[in-house]
Amino acid sequence: MWGTLFGFAGMATTRLTLTLVSVAIWLLSRPGGWAVLAIAALVGVKLLPAR
C-alpha cells in the first residue's frame, strides 16, 4: 500500500518539477523573462521562514 502511495507522490513531484523547469526555460527565452525569474526567486527567499 505504501509503495503505491509513494509511487503516485513521486510521479506528481516529477511532473511538477518538469513543468517548473519548462516554464523557467520558456521565460529565459523571452525578452525580460530573466527578470521575472529573479523577482520570483527574491520573493521566494523573502517568504521562507527564518530559523
pLDDT value of residue 15: 86
3-state SS track over 24-35: HHHHHHCCCHHH
- The overall average pLDDT reported for the chain is 86
The number of residues in the chain equals 51
Distance of CA 21 to the CA centre of its chain: 7
Predicted TM-score (pTM) of this structure = 0.62
pLDDT band at residue 51, thresholds of 50, 70 and 90? low
Per-residue pLDDT of 21-39, as tens digits, reads: 999 999 999 999 999 999 9
Q: Could you tell me what percent of the chain has a pLDDT over 70?
A: 96
At residue 24, φ and ψ (nearest 5 deg) are -65, -45
